[in-house]
Structure 1
Amino acid sequence: MGSPCSPHIPPIHGCGRGYAGKSIRSAGAVALGPGAVARLPWRAPCGRTACDPIRSRRIGRRTVKYACAPELSRALSFPASPRPRFAHRWDMRACESPTQCITPTRIRGTILIAPRACPRIVSRPGARVVGAYVYGIDRWIGCYIRLLGMLMLSMLVACGSGSGVAPVYGEADPEATLRFAFASGVTRFDPHRATSSYDNTWLFPVYDRLVHMDPDGQPIPGLAAAWDYGPQGTWLDLELRPDVRFHDGSQLDAQAVRANLERAKTVRGSAVASELASIAAIEILDDLRLRLHLEWPDAALPLILSDRAGMMVAPAAFDDPRLDRRGVGTGPWRHVEFRMGNRSVYERFEHHWDPEAAGVRRLELRLIPDESTRLNAVRSGQLDGTNLASLQIDQARLAGLEVVSRVGVEFLHIHLNRTASHFGDRRVRQAMNHALRRQAIVDALGLGHGQANVQPFPEGYVAFDPESGRHHYDYDPERARSLLAEAGVADGFEFELIVPNISSYLPLFEAVADQLSKVGIRARPRVLEGAQISERFFGATESDAALVQWGGRPDPSQTIDLMFTPGALPNPGSHTTPEVQRLAKAARREIDPEQRKVALQAVTRAVTEEALGLVLSLPPATFALQPAVAGFETWISGNKPEFRGVVVRRRESG
């Protein structure tokens, strides 16, 4: 950015008239920038006309004006300056005439932008542009937010491009380093005690699983080359690959697999013991064959073994206190370095059983919580890829990055402790479902990317119930008030809602809280770090609800059992219903695939009708990649990619 672009920034006019004087609460708003701080020591007088025009750029059917400066701040204003309920403070000042420069004297926290018109934008040196987020939604925001997101990158592309010649890439470089960043770190490198499904991304390079999973969620051979159920599902036989080594040089055999599975069931602090509860005994048939004798037929077990429960640790490392920070498995890469809260480094394991798995010699995974920082690092070439927020998708594409996206089994939801507050009453849970405008949240928070849904599974998935559909609870505030009255809380109630200390969750909280407040339900936020949420909400069960994203599981019975049946950590209070428990058990024990599909849909239907969940949407798992990266795939499991077969190509020209 620099010299060709003037620092004088004009207002930008878009697809409509100015803000019509409605309150921000009734019309919604869009926010630019998590944690942005702009301190502008000047204010355009109301007698001043628009700033000097700089450049224009055609974006679709629209022409927008823009300018570049070393640092940019953008703000829109409206006649009234609302005060949010959340922990943001700002002071917006506006001029009356649409031809005048509109500038804030001080913006702290989140910069607000008016919807229902592609608004006038003013930029000025002195603050960074850090992204776009939605703040409170009540109406369709349409093209206005999308134009804003495109505008942000059009400025960067127009002013930051060089010759415009696209680089050409050739063959894969086997000696390359692949650098990737994620918003979530790893809890530990002991897979049996790792507590988050998002740990998997950091564990996959080190650990093979007994069963692997293809991008569509189907089980495929891993360390087990084959598996087969016995009559009526009374056992599951596993046949191991020959000549597989751990990173410490020891051999993987039936003894090592039995030791791993027994440890996963019994080690103190195991996060996967409940998932292996069906295994009654493990019989070694020979060096490469095992028989898992089952307490009951367990149709979920193959895909459970594609998760952390099936990750094989070198037995010599079981009691090594360094295991939490340095994994020892059979995976394509050896774990060579770990810095808590920073990065993890892996190097190719030359004796891996699949020579094509490690397409790069060195893999670096970094923890960068801020979404804009991650995207900027990919744009500048410091990273080869990262996961994106939905509002960054258009920005990444305009920057010339490859964007891959897929809706999977992750979902945003209000995770209720159904034994707290008034949430034990089905009518209250149903009322909350009717109070939410899910499509508005998807349209605004995700610019239309994602799937509005009341079910915990995506449309077309084996456990999705077509009878209930995605809109079983339509937006009906009158019905919500009626249900609350039937439940004896006609005047509403207040509950505590844990909110992650992540920038994109703050506007989501405002949107949800605003919609619930219209039927008298008042959400009181409690902001916690991710690790604290696990400890306080799931462990100590000391709060009413949490606004979080469920990371999904390879098999749908895992999600059903963990969230909606008693005894599992993700079900604080262990609430369920006899019917859901019966149907969940039947779905997990049905070995025939077609019959199991029917059983899974039945339990999903019961969960939906009982309103055991408060699903908001299924956001897409989206990644931005440098053009040199090839072989990267999106997985139905969401933001937990594997790097097997991913390569970095050599740059030949450009």
Structure 2
Amino acid sequence: MAVRTIGGRSRGLLGALAAAAVLLAGCAPMGPTTGTEFGERSVDARTPGRGGSAQVALASEPDLLDPTQSSTLVARQVFASMCEKLYDYDESMTIVPQLATELPQTSPDGRQLTVSVRRDARFADGTPLDAAAVKKSLDRHLQLESSSRTAELASVEEVTVRDPGTVVLSLSQPDASLPSVLADRAGMIMSPQALDRLGEDFGTEPVCVGPFAFVSRAIGDRIVLRRDPNYYAADEIALDEVIYRVMTDSSVRLANLRSRDVVVGDQMAPVDVLSTSGDGELQLFRSPSFGYYGLTVNTRTSGGPAPGAVVDTPLATRPELRTAFALSLDRALINKIAFQDMYAPACGPVPPASAYADPDLVCPGRDLERARRLVAESGLPTPVSVELSIPNTANDLRTGQIIQAMANEAGFDVRLRAMEFTSLLEAGKNGDFEMLLSGWSGRVDPNGNMASFLRSGAPNNYGGYANDEVDAQLAEALTISDVGKRRAAYRALQERLAEDLPIIYLFRPSSLVLASNRLAGLRVYADGLIRLRDAGYAT
């Protein structure tokens, strides 16, 4: 496990921000850039020619290439090219059929969802897609012990095959989020033949329906996909091959873009994006995301998912200290210094673009006086020690240093524990942390940003947060179909979360993808996924 500890007390906020400014000065101008080249854009409408290999630089190593067990955004990037779902999103983030033939039909009581499955599709191994294959994958998502999909599909009691082209999902309660869930990993359908052959090792040789099929993987280096001749629209696919390469440093991804060793760079740092101003060989795909970055607090006071789980820390046992920590932070200043104002401050899991966002909910500003008072009232010796685990990237290190400086002024002694992404993920799953800086790529439906992280026992609830009232509120919100009433339900939830602070939400990133102008037809929507189905080299 690669770990680097940076810490102790900082020399003050101004010194830390000055250091951050020096780091940025050689890369890009300070402050926001208003040039039209950095505006929102999600589609390259040019028609590509046929042939060629596209190399895509990923920001980190994907976890398992298994739709059931995966939990990382970078894995979703690979899935976007090889594992289609029952439903997908279009440019406006409206749900559209993909492996289904039409939008799901909901029964009058909301307790059944009927899905019609296309019959012209084959998996990469030649196995036909049918309703039985859909049921097998959905059952696996629900029942596999190591599944990361259980919270997303919690309302599904049974999956039945009505006929070869129809699947029926019987629900324990109405679930307004379910169509959006089936437009993500929980809706990815895997070859039943490959599942029988590989079992829990499916991720070593994944077989799905998609424009490209899995060929090989070298951990830490690359994942190779090739155009799948079994794909139902194979004649529409321009590229012969897609190679995903792992390049954890954004500046390295940019250097490889400029040298033409890769044609797409994922999750680019704002400072690197700004440095491309006027570069006619690169194009930017930028859109506000539905995700967030935040500080997950390990709230465990007993037990844990692994022997090394951290328990009984001051932040775990004293909610007022979590409040103090949150009040010590200036989200707008973090955004300005670390992200050049290209992101947006956030203090909750529901993005402003959502129909369920409440415009009256605003982020509290920094209140250093109250933060210091709460720390003093805790009765603990000061400074209060906090270990913050962060990804070992330049951007995250910079963010961690700013957080460290701000919280230190309130009476916390923040030590930074910098880790490689895969090690950080493992530490999170095991509860081996006090506070964890992590991001979530986001979902259109608010439940996708909440249940898996906040429901008791949910697979991504790394902090061990457990609150029966929140569990009940999450379940109740799913049963509401009226937009206004559901919005009010999520407002009440967010107000409760603002009291407990199991996650201190910090900012909402923009999706920033740079690509070579040689590549035409690329699409990157607000979900941040790089869609290569229609991409190829410009003629």
In the TM superposition, 1:518-557 aligns within 5 A as 518-539=409-430, 541-557=431-447
Change in 2 beyond 3 A, CA 1:207/1:442: same
Q: CA separation in 2, counterparts of 1:171 and 1:522?
A: 55
The one of 343, 355, 361 equivalent to 1:450 is 343
After alignment, is 266-275 or 226-235 more displaced? 266-275
- Tell me which residue corresponds to 2:388: 497
* Deviation, structure 1 residue 554: 4.6
The one of 324, 331, 345 equivalent to 1:431 is 324
1:178 paired with 2:57, answer no
Q: Deviations over 1:440-488 (max 9, x none)?
A: 111111111110121223323234332222x2x2111001122333444
Q: CA separation in 1, counterparts of 2:482 and 2:23?
A: 54
Q: CA separation in 2, counterparts of 1:172 and 1:519?
A: 55
Change in 2 beyond 3 A, CA 1:463/1:27: farther
What's the secondary structure of 1:369's corresponding residue? coil
Conservation of the 8 A alpha-carbon contact between 2:354 and 2:444: no
* Deviation, structure 1 residue 633: 2.8
Conservation of the 8 A alpha-carbon contact between 2:53 and 2:243: yes
Q: CA separation in 1, counterparts of 2:18 and 2:98?
A: 46
Greater C-alpha Rg: 1
- Tell me which residue corresponds to 1:621: 511
What's the secondary structure of 2:160's corresponding residue? strand
* Deviation, structure 1 residue 259: 1.0
Conservation of the 8 A alpha-carbon contact between 2:61 and 2:422: no
Conservation of the 8 A alpha-carbon contact between 1:233 and 1:591: no
Q: CA separation in 2, counterparts of 1:255 and 1:406?
A: 37
- Tell me which residue corresponds to 2:175: 298
Q: Deviations over 1:203-249 (max 9, x none)?
A: 12111111112244332101112211112211100011122111111
Conservation of the 8 A alpha-carbon contact between 2:292 and 2:440: yes
Q: CA separation in 1, counterparts of 2:324 and 2:12?
A: 25
What's the secondary structure of 2:407's corresponding residue? helix
Q: CA separation in 1, counterparts of 2:435 and 2:458?
A: 16
After alignment, is 412-421 or 431-440 more displaced? 412-421
* Deviation, structure 1 residue 395: 1.3
Conservation of the 8 A alpha-carbon contact between 2:12 and 2:405: no
1:395 paired with 2:312, answer no
Q: CA separation in 1, counterparts of 2:30 and 2:176?
A: 47
- Tell me which residue corresponds to 2:296: 415
Change in 2 beyond 3 A, CA 1:350/1:555: same
Q: CA separation in 1, counterparts of 2:118 and 2:483?
A: 26
- Tell me which residue corresponds to 2:477: 587
Q: CA separation in 2, counterparts of 1:525 and 1:28?
A: 14
Conservation of the 8 A alpha-carbon contact between 2:61 and 2:421: no
* Deviation, structure 1 residue 27: 4.8
Q: CA separation in 2, counterparts of 1:193 and 1:291?
A: 23
Conservation of the 8 A alpha-carbon contact between 2:87 and 2:100: yes
Conservation of the 8 A alpha-carbon contact between 1:237 and 1:291: yes
Change in 2 beyond 3 A, CA 1:29/1:513: closer
- Tell me which residue corresponds to 2:250: 371
- Tell me which residue corresponds to 1:26: 14
Conservation of the 8 A alpha-carbon contact between 1:468 and 1:608: no
Conservation of the 8 A alpha-carbon contact between 2:427 and 2:433: yes
Change in 2 beyond 3 A, CA 1:444/1:267: same
- Tell me which residue corresponds to 1:645: 534
After alignment, is 312-321 or 242-251 more displaced? 312-321
* Deviation, structure 1 residue 492: 4.3
| TM-score with structure 1 setting the length | 0.72
Change in 2 beyond 3 A, CA 1:274/1:398: same
* Deviation, structure 1 residue 146: 6.9
Change in 2 beyond 3 A, CA 1:573/1:504: closer
* Deviation, structure 1 residue 553: 3.3
Change in 2 beyond 3 A, CA 1:357/1:458: farther
Change in 2 beyond 3 A, CA 1:242/1:114: closer
After alignment, is 501-510 or 432-441 more displaced? 501-510
Q: CA separation in 2, counterparts of 1:492 and 1:351?
A: 62
- Tell me which residue corresponds to 1:336: 215
Conservation of the 8 A alpha-carbon contact between 1:465 and 1:602: no
* Deviation, structure 1 residue 195: 3.0
Conservation of the 8 A alpha-carbon contact between 2:390 and 2:418: yes
* Deviation, structure 1 residue 430: 1.7
Change in 2 beyond 3 A, CA 1:356/1:389: farther
What's the secondary structure of 2:531's corresponding residue? coil
Change in 2 beyond 3 A, CA 1:27/1:330: same
| TM-score with structure 2 setting the length | 0.86
* Deviation, structure 1 residue 28: 4.2
The one of 487, 506, 528 equivalent to 1:597 is 487
In the TM superposition, 1:110-259 aligns within 5 A as 113=22, 131=27, 144=30, 172-226=48-102, 227-259=104-136
Conservation of the 8 A alpha-carbon contact between 1:391 and 1:446: yes
What 5-or-longer segments of structure 2 have no aligned partner? 1-10, 36-44, 301-311
Between Structure 1 and Structure 2, which shows a larger proportion of helix residues? 2
Paired residue type of 1:233: G
| Aligned-CA RMSD value | 2.6
Conservation of the 8 A alpha-carbon contact between 2:56 and 2:262: yes
Paired residue type of 2:14: S
Q: CA separation in 1, counterparts of 2:429 and 2:187?
A: 24
Change in 2 beyond 3 A, CA 1:572/1:502: same
Conservation of the 8 A alpha-carbon contact between 2:524 and 2:530: yes
Overall identity of the aligned pairs, in %: 24
Conservation of the 8 A alpha-carbon contact between 1:197 and 1:552: no
* Deviation, structure 1 residue 295: 1.1
Conservation of the 8 A alpha-carbon contact between 1:29 and 1:114: no
What's the secondary structure of 1:474's corresponding residue? coil
What's the secondary structure of 1:499's corresponding residue? strand
Conservation of the 8 A alpha-carbon contact between 1:427 and 1:486: no
Change in 2 beyond 3 A, CA 1:598/1:360: farther
Q: CA separation in 2, counterparts of 1:324 and 1:513?
A: 38
Change in 2 beyond 3 A, CA 1:277/1:582: closer
Instruction: Choose between structure 1 and 2 for higher RCO, CA contacts under 8 A separated by at least 6 residues.
Output: 2
1:315 paired with 2:224, answer no
Conservation of the 8 A alpha-carbon contact between 2:397 and 2:418: no
* Deviation, structure 1 residue 598: 3.3
What's the secondary structure of 1:584's corresponding residue? helix
Conservation of the 8 A alpha-carbon contact between 1:177 and 1:362: yes
* Deviation, structure 1 residue 315: 0.6
